Amino acid sequence: MSWLTKTGDNALLSLSKKTGGPSYIFAFLGNPGSRYAVTRHNAGFIAGAALVKRLGLGKPGKKFKSETYLIKIGGKSVLLLFPQTFMNLSGEAVAAAAKFYKLPPENIVAVCDESLLDIGVIRLRQSGGHGGQNGMRSIIERLGTEDFPRIRIGVGKKPVPEMDIADWVLSPFRGQELADIERVAAVCADCVTEIVHSGLMSAMNKYSNRNLLDGQ
């Protein structure tokens, strides 16, 4: 992810080549390339980037048609996965990683955009349909199940109902929107650590369906 800057404190998490197989995979969804870097569809990438940036991690590995980081959170190995397949084929990367590490669906967390939620709101779910999000559709098809957790990041609703949804999600965040989504991304990084430390339900109680920008 060459567009990321390296910065931050790795006191909570550390990159290690000796972490072994991961207990969790967090799949941050988006489209590769600078053209898409700050589009709404790349909210997943932006959230993952916030975590990478915070930790000051170096260059990613290349595996499973993805850019990857194998890290530790509270003693547990975690794989951060950034599929480079483009959104519609995200499932190829996620399923390959899941198969290689023999992880059950409940330990695979997808992080993606949600155009039915306002910017500032995220929604955590244990399972569910794709909701029209093509990356999620691809993951469901490749894993053969809907029973995996997801973090859906609000990117704002279409300004007019007749606007094509593809045009909307491929449009860039602008002005205050970009500042706001970066603040939300930082909270999503906290959400990742909460899931690993304390479980999905704890993270849901702390972060789901709340305006994360209130009081900030």
Q: Please tell me the predicted confidence (pLDDT) of residue 181.
A: 97
Closest listed residue to residue 92, CA positions, set 51, 44, 142, 167: 142
Mean pLDDT for the stretch of residues 113-132: 94
Lowest mean pLDDT among 7-21, 68-82, 161-175, 201-215: 7-21
Give, as one character, the DSSP assignment of residue 172: B
Domain presence at residue 159: yes
Q: Please tell me the predicted confidence (pLDDT) of residue 9.
A: 32
Domain presence at residue 13: no
Domain presence at residue 75: yes
Mean pLDDT for the stretch of residues 120-145: 95
Domain presence at residue 212: no
Q: Please tell me the predicted confidence (pLDDT) of residue 212.
A: 92
Domain presence at residue 14: no
Domain presence at residue 89: yes
CA pair distance 28, 16, nearest whole angstrom: 20
CA pair distance 127, 145, nearest whole angstrom: 9
CA torsion sign for 195, 152, 14, 7 is negative
Number of domains, the chain: 1
Residue 113 in tokens = 């955009």
* Domain of 176, in residue numbers: 21-207
Mean pLDDT for the stretch of residues 57-83: 94
CA distances from 35 to 10, 38, 44, 55, 172 (A): 29, 8, 15, 25, 10
Q: Please tell me the predicted confidence (pLDDT) of residue 117.
A: 96
Domain presence at residue 67: yes
pLDDT above 80 for 182 = yes
Q: Please tell me the predicted confidence (pLDDT) of residue 21.
A: 86
Rg value, the chain, Cα: 16
Catalytic residue chosen out of the listed positions 24, 25, 32, 41: 41
Per the annotation, the verdict on 197 as an active-site residue is no
Dump pLDDT digits (tens) for 24-59.
999 999 999 999 999 999 999 999 999 999 888 889
Q: Which residues of 114-123 are buried (b: 16+ CB within 10 A; e: fewer)?
A: bbebebbbbb
Kindly indicate the confidence band of residue 215, based on its pLDDT and cuts at 50, 70 and 90.
low
Domain presence at residue 5: no
Q: Please tell me the predicted confidence (pLDDT) of residue 54.
A: 87
Mean pLDDT for the stretch of residues 209-214: 90
Lowest mean pLDDT among 48-57, 100-109, 143-152: 48-57
Instruction: List the CATH number of the domain containing 32.
Output: 3.40.50.1470
Predicted TM-score (pTM) above 0.85: yes
Kindly indicate the confidence band of residue 132, based on its pLDDT and cuts at 50, 70 and 90.
confident
